[in-house]
Amino acid sequence: MPKIKIYIIARISEDAHLWTDKICDQLDDSFDIFKPKDHNPWNKRHEKFPKGVFDCDLEAIKKSHIGLMLPEYGNDCAWESGFYANSGKPVAVFIDTQMEWLRDWMVKGGIDYVITNNSSAYNTLKKDPILKHKKIILLKHLKNLNKELKNIYQKHYDEKSHIKS
């Protein structure tokens, strides 16, 4: 199996770096992870970003196999999620206790999977009028995120698929 290319859909502001790194540190060497926070000028006002920032992120999205969204996120992340929803590539959301994103009905409608390690969040997700129609996964341990993302990959990309590198 080739390396699974994961695009991290998460805020790039400094206050979100620890959460993004905590989740990405759970992923093993079978993943090639693109974290926009490592490529984008997170300490610069968004209206000052050069077009190259958009181009870099869009290219990474196009090359990826899976989008992994880490709430709480911003408007740009909602756009990225929408791109995935129209691309045929799966998008998964990983949450612990983050619930503010549940107000974004269009984002919820476009995602394929929600993964959590929190049983209370899992129960809330199962009752959500949109998410109850999605695949909701409860992890016993955060380290099992690897296995679930590999399962998502295998479900969407089999040996007969033409995987874009």
Q: Which CATH architecture has domain 4-156?
A: 3-Layer(aba) Sandwich (3.40)
Q: If you average pLDDT over residues 66-90, what whole number do you get?
A: 93
SS (H, E, C) the chain: CCCEEEEEECCCCHHHHHHHHHHHCCCCCCEEEECHHHCCCCCCCHHHCCHHHHHHHHHHHHHCCEEEECCCCCHHHHHHHHHHHHHCCCEEEEECCCCHHHHCHHHHHHCCEEEECCHHHHHHHHHCCCHHHCEEEECCCHHHHHHHHHHHHHHHCCCCCCCCC
Tens of pLDDT, residues 22-55: 999 999 999 999 999 888 776 667 777 888 888 8
Which amino acid, one-letter code, is at 39? H
Residue 71, pLDDT above cutoff 80:
yes
